[in-house]
Amino acid sequence: MVDALGVAVVGFGWMGRVHTQAYARVRHHYPQLALRPELVTVAEEVPGRAEEAAARFGFASTTRDWRDVAADPRVRAVSITAPNFLHREIAVAMAEAGKHIWIEKPVGLSLDDARAVADAVAKAGVQGAVGFNYRNAPAVEAARELIAAGEIGTVTHVRIRLFSDYAAHPESALTWRYERERGGSGVLGDLASHGADLARFLLGDIASLTADTAIFLPERARPTAATAGHARASGGESGPVENEDYVSCLLRFASGARGVLEACRVSVGEQNNYGFEVHGTTGAVFWDFRRMNELGVSRGSAYQDQPVSTVYVGPAHGEFGAFQPGAANAMGYDDLKVVEAHRFLRSIAEATPYGATLPDAVHSAAVLDAVARSAARGAWAEVRPEE
């Protein structure tokens, strides 16, 4: 028997839409799922936006105040896709109200925020999922298994990159993303948080790091109306960019491996250039998000001049079989969020965590905290998730 699960979405920008579409699609790909998500309500403070979402996607009701969602007995699970500065308040309130939460990274503005949400979820006994979607790619899961099986020997070093041009235009609007008080860290929370999660997912804990950050576009124009995504603005009052456009880190893993993590949101000529290269004593593995369903693999005993083979992931890898029947049929970004929705709903149905959870968010936030300390002091910093 399939039980209905009332769900709500808080914050209806682009990511709110992605979560909503994932709820709508999840049982198409996972018909065995024991829960059927029902779109109960959408909360969005921008006038008219919630009503538009309800008309388009079929939410039963709308509100401009997220507190109405916490008080609504119809709602058992909530997607939190509001701006970063609201994450902690909303997530803690939802957990205390007994709602399961699926929250976007980086989970607040700081390590303290991530810990507070994790603690609230644990205390309430609800499930908490986090939007680290890139780890859900079948090729990434295949890379993790390959590394764990020792197929490239002992890992020696990794390079993780996240380069994008979404903020490269000088007319990009000065939204909350660029403010410390509302956005927290800049490219650290937006892109490097994914890199920190991928690093730990693939290779285990990061023990320490040294980092450098920079702001390359120091001023932007304030928007004159409500925005969504990465809007442009011109003619508005100019204001300062308060958080990082760029970060680079040297990493030391608990395993002894070394790494480089680099992220930038103003990289002209780069569109979603996200990926990693992991090298071991007998081989290497390579992944590029723009070719999401491929994995470059070098393994053997040649050491020198050893070739790299392209592996097209298929139904034997990760969740690929829920979407496509054979290797080299493409999955896309939105599919990764459907995987995430499935793991969130399965966690609720089975009362067992699946996928990225709040402890993963705490570990990622601890890396970002160490980055900020290192960049400020010009020295190595320990990663301290447990303090």
Residues 188-241: pLDDT tens digits? 999 999 999 999 999 999 999 999 999 999 999 887 655 555 666 666 688 999
Chain position carrying tokens 């998000």: 289
Rama region for 310: left / alpha / beta (φ>0; ψ in -120 to 50; rest):
beta
Averaged confidence pLDDT in the chain: 95
Q: For residues 361 and 87, what is the distance between their CA atoms, to the nearest angstrom?
A: 12
- What is the Cα–Cα distance from 289 to 132, expressed in whole angstroms? 14
Q: Which of 4-18, 164-178, 329-343, 351-365 has the lowest mean pLDDT?
A: 164-178
Q: In this predicted structure, what is the pLDDT of residue 93?
A: 98
Asked: is 3-133 a CATH 3.30.450.20 domain? The reply is no
What mean pLDDT comes out for the span 6-27?
A: 97
Can you give the pLDDT at residue 52?
A: 97
What residue segments make up the domains of the chain, in order of their start?
Answer: 3-133, 134-331+357-381
Over residues 69-74, mean pLDDT? 98
Q: What residues contact 216, with CB distance under 8 A and at least 6 apart?
A: 245, 246, 266
Q: Quote the pLDDT of residue 267.
A: 97
Please, are residues 355 and 111 in contact by the beta-carbon 8 Å criterion? no
Q: For the residues 71-86, what does the mean pLDDT come to?
A: 97
134-331+357-381 belongs to CATH 3.30.360.10: yes
